[in-house]
Chains A and B, each alone.
Chain A
Amino acid sequence: MLQEESDLSLVIAQIVQKLKGSNLYAQLERQAWASLQRPEIKLESLKEDIKEFFKLSGWEKKLQNAVYSELNVFPLPSHPAAPPEHLKEPLVYMRKAQGSWEKRILKSLNSMCTELSIPLARKRPVGEQKELLNKWNEMGTDEPDLSLFRPVYAPKDFLEVLINLRNPNYENGDSLSFRTHLGLIQVPLKVKGIPELKEFFVELGLTTGQLGIDDSTQVPPELFENEHVRIGQKVLAEQDSAAAQQYIRQGSPTALRAELWALILNISSQPEDILYYEQLKTNVIQHDLLVDSLIYKDVKLTASNDDYYFVFEDYLYQVLLCFSRDTSVLGHFAYNSASPPKSYIRGKLGLEEYAVFYPPNVAPLCFLYHEPSKLYQIFREMYVRFFFRLHSISSHPSGIVSLCLLFETLLQTYLPQLFYHLREIGAQPLRISFKWMVRAFSGYLATDQLLLLWDRILGYNSLEILAVLAAAVFAFRAVNLMEVTSLAAAEAVLADLSTLKVMPLLQIFLFATVT
């Protein structure tokens, strides 16, 4: 008993400390002071009266949302003797692997700098600053010479690192035995099986209404859709984060999605947030970073060529350039196995630089949010809660290593013939599905389907659904895949996912497949 109580007190103390520096705390304090004017607040029962006032005015709900948000994001405090690295990643060999991977990226960046004689960061001359400010809203029209910039790494390089991860305490042996994993991932992380996934994703079951299935044109809206929209509006009126998270497991109506995501991620657009974004914009204007060119190149190669996303090209630059300068993102490194690279300024080790990451998935968010500072906030929150786990090596259940292992295990267990056949022809399934998972399917699915998928990521606070969907896609195309005889042919069968409907696939795979 004593242990649990002291654990709880520790969690409370941690959350209090975190919230004390927040805007919400200042607002609550102001509100409490202002409330003293009110007639119902009496000196004898000051504490109770103020608490009652907070409850009635909705401030308690805001505080609840903030606490809920903290609980969702930050891992529970671990043992007091555990050093901070342990909180980032408990397994030593994973930490080491992440460290080596980071060194490789840094080496690559450094050599790019020296080869091209371009500084990592420099202050822009005033003329250049003015020019950039003028064309801030149309950076897409710029055509700088990016031919010399190579991408720092490709997903398949990262996959190779994951494939070579080994637990030094795990006896695998070189020869194939019943203990060797048949897939590419060789580390023994715990992943859920289908019975556990059925329990975890219970709201995706056959008897529960879903957006993405029960809102199709053949189904009369009175059966599910109308009621679901009504509940969604009520949830938004109540401004309850936890309720919103539960609600969105069945999908979000398009009209309510932007607000629901903001509520779940606990983002409100205060004047301070807009100011913060403007400050970041100023940083972009004043300083030029090497990574900016890499971002330009990546956006030009991907989003600008995409039929759906090219319209958002300018937005993407605005968001990504600001993101690479946002030091508040550094907070998430407490629970991310990665570390931000450091740099020397005039011989003194100091400033923590931008996070080195694989350019993340901004484009789909542009469909939801039009105002740059709100778009920026949502993107940043999605990154520090979820997407960073796709780019760093860790043992977390939503980390990319676990997702890969989950995918391979599901396929092996429930489609053993297909798995074996693909392996035999030299087309290990993970080599095909990795690029989907590492980008959270962005750029592969149709946008409306992608947003339905990301609804569930938010609703279940987990990325495991990406691995389940990947397995479901293979199950769906199993018949064609059994007939192919090469990796290239297998890739061709799975090249185009834009016509897929994700929710029926997931439902069938989890709840309607005969095992």
Chain B
Amino acid sequence: MSRVSVPCHVKGTVALQVGDVRTSQGRPGVLVIDVTFPSVAPFELQEIMFKNYYTAFLSIRVRQHTSTHTPAKWVTCLRDYCLMPDPHSEEGAQEYVSLFKHQSPSMTFPKWLSHPVPCDQSAPLIEGLPEPSRVSSEVQQMWALTEMIRASHTSTRIGRFDVDGCYDLNLLSYT
């Protein structure tokens, strides 16, 4: 199951602000980023991945074309998804985030992406530990991972080094 990244065009941010944008009296708290997809073929989106920079909450809206006759309409896929649990502190401020397609029936969309995540999504809490035998069978199923482990070397270091038998050092490098 190979994954391919879809080329997209991310426009600059636009502040949602009442009044003249140029007056810097109040800093806007909401910014909008438009994402368009220049490719023509329909695709099934699995994951949106980005690096956060001090955004606390994220909403995603999608313009869907259901058929050629009805006009396109805006659908909210994600509302106020929390990226920073405490916006006044650094938690989550510069984290890498992935948003996945849920197990809802998928539809392909011609030009605009769709992210059919239920609106009332909240991060499910892990109630208890998963069953060990189930977990271990899943690990075995992820054969790609185990293959990788077998093929790769262990990360344990062997020991000391000796380069050309010489150990005379005079300067530490800055880079």
Given contacts A16-B149, A123-B166, A279-B159, whether A341 and B172 have CB atoms under 8 Å apart is yes
Inter-subunit contact B90/A349 (CB<8 Å): no
Check A22 for interface membership: any CB of B closer than 8 A.
yes
Residues of the A chain whose Cβ atoms lie less than 8 Å from the Cβ of B16: none
Inter-subunit contact B159/A345 (CB<8 Å): no
Given contacts A167-B90, A331-B157, whether A17 and B170 have CB atoms under 8 Å apart is no
Residues of the B chain whose Cβ atoms lie less than 8 Å from the Cβ of A370: none
Given contacts A2-B100, A287-B167, whether A343 and B54 have CB atoms under 8 Å apart is no
Total count of chain A residues near the partner, CB < 8 A: 64
Within 8 A of A (CB), among B84-106: 86, 88-91, 93-98, 100, 103
Shortest beta-carbon distance, A336 to chain B, in Å? Answer: 16
CA distance A92 to B169 in the complex (A): 31
Inter-subunit contact A20/B49 (CB<8 Å): no
Inter-subunit contact B88/A342 (CB<8 Å): no
Check B34 for interface membership: any CB of A closer than 8 A.
no
Since A106-B174, A343-B172, A353-B172 are in contact, a sample of 20 more A-B pairs with Cβ atoms closer than 8 Å, ordered by chain A residue number, is: A3-B100, A4-B124, A4-B126, A9-B135, A13-B146, A79-B95, A81-B51, A90-B93, A110-B171, A119-B169, A188-B90, A276-B159, A286-B167, A327-B159, A327-B160, A328-B157, A344-B173, A345-B164, A345-B167, A345-B169
Among residues of B, the one whose C-beta sits closest to the C-beta of A18 is B155
Instruction: Please classify the interface of chain B as helix (H, G, I), strand (E, B), loop, or mixed, using the class held by over half of its residues.
Output: loop
Inter-subunit contact B154/A20 (CB<8 Å): yes
Given contacts A188-B88, A327-B159, A343-B173, whether A13 and B96 have CB atoms under 8 Å apart is no
Residues of the B chain whose Cβ atoms lie less than 8 Å from the Cβ of A4: 124, 126
Within 8 A of B (CB), among A240-286: 276, 279, 283, 286
Inter-subunit contact B89/A190 (CB<8 Å): yes
CA distance A96 to B95 in the complex (A): 17
Check A239 for interface membership: any CB of B closer than 8 A.
no
Residues of the B chain whose Cβ atoms lie less than 8 Å from the Cβ of A433: none
Shortest beta-carbon distance, B94 to chain A, in Å? Answer: 5
Given contacts A9-B138, A344-B171, A353-B172, whether A86 and B96 have CB atoms under 8 Å apart is yes
Shortest beta-carbon distance, B93 to chain A, in Å? Answer: 7
Inter-subunit contact B149/A103 (CB<8 Å): no
Check B57 for interface membership: any CB of A closer than 8 A.
no
Inter-subunit contact B90/A346 (CB<8 Å): no
Shortest beta-carbon distance, A118 to chain B, in Å? Answer: 9
Q: Kindly supply a per-residue 1/0 record for chain B positions 148-169, scoring 1 wherever the CB is within 8 Å of any chain A CB and 0 otherwise.
A: 1100101111011101101111
Identify B155's interface contact among A21, A92, A348, A353, CB under 8 A: A21
CA distance A16 to B148 in the complex (A): 12
Among residues of B, the one whose C-beta sits closest to the C-beta of A90 is B94
Shortest beta-carbon distance, A272 to chain B, in Å? Answer: 11
CA distance A37 to B129 in the complex (A): 36
8 of the cross-chain contacts (CB-CB < 8 Å) are: A1-B124, A3-B100, A4-B124, A13-B142, A91-B94, A123-B167, A327-B160, A351-B169
Shortest beta-carbon distance, A128 to chain B, in Å? Answer: 14
Q: Which 3 A-B pairs have the closest CB atoms?
A: A21-B154, A21-B156, A79-B96
Check B53 for interface membership: any CB of A closer than 8 A.
yes
Check A142 for interface membership: any CB of B closer than 8 A.
no
Residues of the B chain whose Cβ atoms lie less than 8 Å from the Cβ of A21: 154-156
Residues of the B chain whose Cβ atoms lie less than 8 Å from the Cβ of A188: 88-90
CA distance A24 to B156 in the complex (A): 13
Q: Kindly supply a per-residue 1/0 record for chain A positions 274-312, scoring 1 wherever the CB is within 8 Å of any chain B CB and 0 otherwise.
A: 001001000100110000000000000000000000000
Identify A351's interface contact among B51, B54, B152, B163, CB under 8 A: B163
CA distance A41 to B126 in the complex (A): 37
Among residues of A, the one whose C-beta sits closest to the C-beta of B129 is A8
Given contacts A91-B93, A189-B89, whether A169 and B53 have CB atoms under 8 Å apart is yes
Check B12 for interface membership: any CB of A closer than 8 A.
no
Identify B170's interface contact among A113, A171, A348, CB under 8 A: A113
Check A127 for interface membership: any CB of B closer than 8 A.
no
Within 8 A of B (CB), among A341-376: 341-346, 348-351, 353
Shortest beta-carbon distance, A489 to chain B, in Å? Answer: 35
Check B145 for interface membership: any CB of A closer than 8 A.
yes
Check B130 for interface membership: any CB of A closer than 8 A.
yes
Q: Kindly supply a per-residue 1/0 record for chain A positions 105-144, scoring 1 wherever the CB is within 8 Å of any chain B CB and 0 otherwise.
A: 0110110010000011111000000000000000000000
Check B139 for interface membership: any CB of A closer than 8 A.
yes
Check A395 for interface membership: any CB of B closer than 8 A.
yes
Most A C-beta atoms less than 10 A away, residue of B54, B160, B161, B167: B167
CA distance A31 to B2 in the complex (A): 40
Residues of the A chain whose Cβ atoms lie less than 8 Å from the Cβ of B51: 81
Shortest beta-carbon distance, B143 to chain A, in Å? Answer: 11
Inter-subunit contact A22/B156 (CB<8 Å): yes
Residues of the A chain whose Cβ atoms lie less than 8 Å from the Cβ of B135: 5, 8-9, 12
